[in-house]
Amino acid sequence: MLTREKNELLVRTGPGTPMGELFRRYWIPALLSEEIPEPDCPPVRVKLLGEELIAFRDTKGRIGLLDEFCAHRTASLFFGRNEECGLRCSYHGWKFDVDGNCVDMPSEPETSTFKNRVRLKAYPCVELAGIVWTYMGPPERRPALPELEWATLDADRRFVSKRWQESNYLQAMEGGIDSSHVSFAHRYNIDDDPMHAGTEGLKYLKADTRPKFEVAESDGGLVIGARRTAGDRSYYWRITQWIMPWYTIIPPFGTHNPMGGHAWIPIDDENCWAWSINYHPTRALTEPELASMRAGEGIHVKYIPGTYRPVANKTNDYLIDREAQRERRSFSGVEGISAQDFSLQESMGAIVDRSKERLGTSDAAIILARRRLLDALKLLDEEGPLPGAAPEHQRVRSASLVLPDSVPFQEGARDALIAVPGREFVSI
């Protein structure tokens, strides 16, 4: 349970809001590189933290992320011409470079110096892992570039997709932190998933359906341990990483399978991007794996063609299949791991009223994550990187392993939770 005031603090991320200010201090996954695939390609609309922007790749391959609306008369630059190192408004021909400078103003006399005084809001961008990232905060507070493990791997070792979710980012992210729902929402899908098949972990998971949770603060967020009995005097641990402010990493099933992770990025207060990443730290993804991901399986989704919106969505009750529900092929009747999650998260309403919740011990990670986000608001004026913004906060892994019951999981899994390039991850 949360007071309405604290809930409002957490869910509002537009310009001028406290959480919006915090989020603007981090690098933000903004769009897929494939959306602006080549120099001088058409610009695309991007909405982030309530701001309407336009992204384009200029003639030299540089990426611009500008205010969507021309500085002159506010026409949308979506209709603009991307040519000769700038985006030119189709209304009166004003042209802007990737830094937001007005570099041509052909509607004014050639001698005019007006254009030198005109700038469009522009955010710096970098490309990493097939994603265009941006930084929307004060320049002097810009953090180091992202070093999340999946963001630093060679291209053949990861697959990235994004999906429009019709809800506030927080209830989406809470789903990523919350290991507890896996035993329910995904119960009848865990077996089927080829990524789980035959692992030792799956055996323990099925044998003990009431895990105990232990949550520890890490430098960059939380480490969330779910503990199950694993024979005599030992525990099977599934450990989830939450990296502030919005990354989660799924505990893996066996080292032969790729890992999975997410980023939960506010579009505005009632919509968010759910980014889904599969990656393997030590080998290339196989063609069958990639084919399955491209087909929208696992944590990815099937799209409505020409969009990043799922075919199964709110307007069609997520294609719920009551027969499948009855016959225990799907716990909720919705098909697919991903849709099982977002159908429930969207069903809570665009923004959850957390004053109506009743939280239990299994919600400890969610409670702590909210607290860490609220606490981070107090660090805005401090020196040094914010939690989750430093590279060393990001070089972490989730893991699954068996430990003696006498060993605290943070201790027993210490090495397993650190991402070391080229080193195999730990999972059974």
Q: Is 118 in the site for a second copy (CB under 8 A)?
A: yes
Q: Is 108 in the site for a second copy (CB under 8 A)?
A: yes
Q: Which of 85, 216, 348, 350 touches a second copy by CB under 8 A? A: 348
CB nearer a second copy, residue 294 or residue 371: 371
Does the protein bind a second copy through residue 356 (CB under 8 A)?
yes
Q: How far is the CB of 5 from a second copy (least distance, A)?
A: 18
**Interaction mask 375-394, a second copy, x per CB under 8 A:** --------------------
Which one of residues 37, 349, 404, 421 is an interface residue with a second copy (CB under 8 A)?
349
Taking the complex as a whole, the smallest distance from the CB of residue 178 to a second copy amounts, in Å, to 8
Of 210, 288, 305, 315, the one binding a second copy by CB under 8 A: 210
Beta pairing class for 158-165 and 271-279? antiparallel
The residue range among 55-63, 200-208, 345-353, 403-411 that interacts with a second copy, by the rule CB under 8 A, is: 345-353
373/23 Cα distance (integer angstroms): 10
Compute the distance between CA of residue 421 and CA of residue 376 in angstroms, rounded to an integer: 29
* Amino acid at position 280, single letter: H
- Candidates 62, 72, 142, 302; binder of a second copy (CB under 8 A) is 72
SS3 breakdown of the chain: % helix, strand, coil, rounded to 5? 30, 25, 45
Output the six-digit token pair for 394.
Answer: 């990001």
Is residue 184 involved in binding a second copy (CB under 8 A)?
A: yes
CB within 8 Å of 117: residues ≥ 6 apart: none
Residue 307 interacts with a second copy (CB under 8 A)? no
**Residue of 205, 122, 181, 148 whose CA lies nearest to 26:** 148
| Interface segment toward a second copy; rule CB under 8 A; list 138-146, 339-347, 374-382, 411-419 | 339-347
Stretch that binds a second copy, among 150-158, 181-189, 219-227, 295-303 (CB under 8 A): 181-189
Token output for 101 = 């400078």
Structural contact between residues 173 and 248, judged by C-beta atoms closer than 8 angstroms: yes
Segment interacting with a second copy, rule: CB under 8 A, options 265-273, 280-288, 320-328, 412-420: 320-328
Q: Please state, as a whole number, how many other Cβ atoms lie within 10 Å of the Cβ of residue 171.
A: 24
Strands (DSSP E) along 154-233, which ranges?
A: 158-165, 212-217, 221-229
Q: Is 114 in the site for a second copy (CB under 8 A)?
A: yes
Contacts of 94 (CB under 8 A, 6+ apart): 70, 71, 72, 88, 102, 104, 105, 106, 107, 115, 118
Among 16, 38, 60, 110, binds a second copy (CB under 8 A): 110
**Which of residues 216 and 344 has its CB atom nearest to a second copy in the complex?**
344
Q: Is 107 in the site for a second copy (CB under 8 A)?
A: yes
Report how far residue 425's alpha carbon sits from residue 413's, in angstroms, rounded to the nearest whole number.
Answer: 11
Judged by CB under 8 A, does residue 363 bind a second copy?
yes
122 Cα distance to chain centroid: 22
Interacting residues of 203 by C-beta distance below 8 A, sequence separation 6+: none
**Residue choice 38, 60, 109, 422 for contact with a second copy (CB under 8 A):** 109
Binding site for a second copy (CB under 8 A): 42, 69, 71-76, 78-81, 89-93, 105-110, 112, 114, 118, 174, 180-181, 183-185, 209-210, 212, 317, 320, 322, 325, 331-334, 340, 343-345, 347-349, 352-353, 356-363
